[in-house]
Structure 1
Amino acid sequence: MTAPHTGAADGRFVPCLNPATLSGIPLEQFLALAAGAGFPTVEVSIQQAQAHGTGPLRDLLQEFGVSVAAASGILPAGPVLPAPLLVAPDTYRACLDGLDSRLKAMADLGCTVATTVLNPRTPLTTDEARAVARERISQLATAAAGYGVRLAVEAVSIHNGLPPELDGPHPLVDRLPQLAQLLDETDAENVGVLVDSFHWAAAGADPGHITALGPDRITHVQIADTPATCTAGELTDSRRLFPGDGALAWPAFADALARAGYAGPVSVELFNPELRALPAGEIACLSHRAATGCWTLAEASR
């Protein structure tokens, strides 16, 4: 029997907070609550950051002692939300307007990761969708490289409760091995995988799906727990729990990340309406406790 890899126990996972966990509050309040709870890093919506102003936001980040680990919205959908990769062609072309300004804003904030979501199902045939996905990933990764930003692509593994923009009659990519293969088929070097613990669990919680990604392939990590009362096929985003409050195999997840060489932010991302109804300060504190307490030993950095 092979001894478990303990690389993560050196303190290489950095707690991070996703703004979706405290949905609907102003950016400045989100940063204050994250910093007050002890988070050294956060994710932001780049549209929201631009609306605030990158200069004033840099000052706020410095004041709070917080850095931006990743930003959503490289393809925007309104003032806050991101668009998935496989939006309709006209919508995609419209999303490209302002791409350079969004990437420059990320760079100005010291953010080196732009996150995006790949549709698990699509109205296009699978072959057509793969071709479009490859082209768009290459285009976005190349554009991001000019600003020192790396693209992080997320695979969605839940099958129920998908929003219309992520759904369709034809399968595309819904697990990490498929995503890695698709990225290998692109000509882009400046792209990696966003690993989400909830989607990893929905896909069967196979540690090999993470370790097979190999060194330097994981660009960002998001975390949430799964209810013990749900099978993998019953999981929906609205059932996400604070890490450590459910049935997810955190030691196996942490060990797999460490074996794959990941040493970076782990961002608490919740969409559970019951948890979001808690006071915002309580959510932030519970999220930090979860991000630093769900691992075994001392695998979280602080």
Structure 2
Amino acid sequence: MFPFKAALNASTLFPFELEVPEQIAVAARAGYEGIELWVPQIKSYLAGGGTIAALRSCLEESGLAFPNAIAFFRWADEVETEREAAFEQAEREMQLLSELGCGAVAAPPFGEVGRVSADELAARFARLVELGRSIGIEPYLEFWGRAPKLSRLDEARDILRRSGVSDGKLLLDPFHMYTGGSAIAELGALTGAEIGICHANDYPASPGVESIGDGDRVFPGEGIAPLHDAAKILHRVGYDGYLSLELFVADFGGLTADEAASKGLQAMREAFDVESGM
């Protein structure tokens, strides 16, 4: 049983160099229920002559939800001028996402954050959420396993608590849990309401955790991640939202975009089957 909704993160399609409307079409043809688009690619599409109205129509006609977007603004940066510019960028980009019918945006520890305290991170995230909610976009606090700060699930939960944000949400990712040293069992301390979206991916035993990179991610079920355990915990805590396939594979070995997307959907459904004992 797969009790989640399936989404495709557009990063999975990057090797095919598709325009955003075709990314949407591929996800719809494969049978996904939602898609995570990347703001830099949306902006490139618009700069090349595309329009917000056309892109929104494309999403509506596809039947896909747009539950979350991937963006990179330095909301937590230690340098005030960088941070203030980032909030201006965030406002512009969240306005754009709102016009496209998107519901949320990722808020990872992008920028110089190594010397930023937990309380400062929390206050800056609270400011970002206040801005986002005024626009109709919910920022999801994302931790990166390689980040000097905000690299673990327990750290992200602490930042969320310190922020004082009511109903704040996290963006989860098995790869970042692995590289940052967060155990899958830690998901059991969450409630479903604390999870905004969960990325889906797997990782091999080699290269090891010390040197593995985003490009080493593999389809769910092809690596060593305890994804069945993760699925059961997520289901138990009441999460029934989107699992979004996020890979950074450089070469799918001759597969077409449609074939890669379809393979990913099937792999995700099997790997996150809560009734499987494998």
Amino acid at match of 1:148: G
What residue is the counterpart of 1:90 in the other structure? 81
- Whether the 8 Å CA contact 1:195–1:218 is kept in 2: the answer is yes
Distance in 2 (CA, whole Å) between partners of 1:175 and 1:193 is 12
Compute the displacement of 1:173 (Å). Answer: 2.5
More strand by percentage: 1
Give the AA of the match of 2:60. Q
The letter for the 2-side match of 1:94 is A
Q: Identify the match of residue 196 of structure 2 among 205, 219, 244.
A: 219
Q: Report the residue type matching 2:24 in the other structure.
A: L
Inter-partner Cα distance in structure 2 for 1:192 and 1:15: 19
Name the aligned partner's letter for residue 236 of structure 1.
G
Q: Does 1:41 align with 2:34?
A: yes
Which of 129, 135, 140 is matched with 2:123 structurally? Answer: 135
Distance 2:19 2:205 in 1: 33
1:109 is aligned with what amino acid? L
Is 2:54 the partner of 1:66? Answer: no
**Which ranges in structure 1 are unaligned for 5 or more consecutive residues?**
1-8, 74-81, 159-165
- For the 8 Å contact 2:75–2:110, the answer to whether it is kept is yes
Counterpart of 2:122, as a letter, is: R
Give the TM-score, by structure 1 length: 0.79
Q: Is the 8 A contact 1:150 1:190 kept in 2?
A: no
In the alignment, structure 1 residue 288 sits paired with structure 2 residue 265: yes
- Asked whether the 8 Å contact 2:73–2:110 carries over to 1, the reply is no
Q: 2:33 is matched by which residue type in structure 1?
A: P
Per-residue deviation at 1:230? 4.1
**2:12–2:247 Cα contact (<8 Å) kept:** yes
1:56 is matched by which residue type in structure 2?
A: A
**1:22 partner amino acid:** L
Partner of 1:53: 51
Per-residue deviation at 1:157? 1.6
User: What's 1:209 paired with?
Assistant: 186
Contact kept? 1:223, 1:243, Cα under 8 Å: yes
Instruction: For residue 174 of structure 1, report the CA deviation from its aligned partner.
Output: 1.5
CA distance in 2, matches of 1:172, 1:260: 26
Does 2:96 match 1:109?
no
In structure 2, distance between residues paired with 1:276 and 1:184: 44
Per the alignment, do residues 277 and 190 of structure 1 end up closer, same or farther by CA in structure 2, a change over 3 Å counting? farther
- What is the alpha-carbon distance in structure 1 between the residues aligned to residue 167 and residue 121 of structure 2? 15
Percentage of identical aligned residues:
23
Structure 1 pair 195–54 and aligned structure 2 pair: CA distance change class (3 A): same
1:91-110 superposed Cα distances (whole Å, 9 cap, x missing partner): 32222225444323323333
* Equivalent position SS for 1:118: coil
Distance 1:120 1:101, change over 3 A: closer
Of structures 1 and 2, the one scoring higher in RCO (CA 8 A, sep 6+) is 1
C-alpha distance in 2, partners of 1:205/1:184?
18
Quote the Cα distance in structure 2 between the aligned partners of 1:99 and 1:236. Answer: 27
Superposed CA deviations along residues 85-142 of structure 1, whole A, max 9, x for unmatched, are 4444323222222544432332333322211212598442xxx343432222011100
Distance 2:275 2:56 in 1: 31
1:156 pairs with 2:144? yes
Structure-2 separation of matches of 1:104 and 1:213: 30
Q: 2:10 matched to which residue of 1?
A: 19
DSSP-derived class of the 2:66 partner: strand
Mapped pair 1:181 → 2:158: yes
Correspondence for 2:218 among 241, 253, 261:
241
C-alpha root-mean-square deviation of aligned residues, in Å?
A: 2.6
Question: Mean alpha-carbon deviation: is it higher for 22-31 or for 182-191?
Answer: 182-191
List alignment gaps of at least 5 residues for structure 2.
Answer: none
Query: How far is 1:257 from its partner?
Result: 1.1
SS for the counterpart of 1:111 is coil
* Corresponding residue pairs, total: 268
Over 3 Å counting, the alpha-carbon distance change for 1:108 and 1:214 in structure 2 is same
Please list the CA deviations of residues 198-253 of structure 1 after superposition, one character each: whole Å capped at 9, or x if unmatched. Answer: 12233456233211122411111101101033443343212100111111111111
* 1:86–1:129 Cα contact (<8 Å) kept: no
